Amino acid sequence: MFLLVVLVPAMLLMLFLLPISEKNQLILHKDTPSLLSLFANHFTHLEAEHFMWNVIFYIILVIPIYILNFRATQMEKFYLTMFLFFILLPVLI
């Protein structure tokens, strides 16, 4: 649990701290789309306030959802949901 709560914000922080030139390669540009930009666009933040609020809400939501799934012994559903949310949903959107 701790790893999940810490790992995702840590990875987002690493993306946020990238130089702007590298962030521009991860942002989806309509004239030159790529598979990487289709995926990474959803996790790349240009503004500190936007980044901060996304991480805060992530932590606020993930902890109770994890606890509820753990108590209901439905951890498979939790991990499937997280997988779909972080891997499949960004590409579909």
Query: What tens digit of pLDDT does each residue of 13-38 get?
Result: 999 999 999 998 888 888 888 888 88
Whole-angstrom distance, CA of residue 17 vs CA of residue 13: 6
Distance separating the N- and C-terminal Cα atoms of the chain: 27
49 CB-near residues (< 8 Å, 6+ apart): none
Q: How many CB atoms lie within 10 A of CB 24?
A: 13
pLDDT confidence tier of residue 1, bands split at 50, 70 and 90: low
Per the structure, how many domains does the chain have? 1
The residue range of the domain holding 83 is 2-92
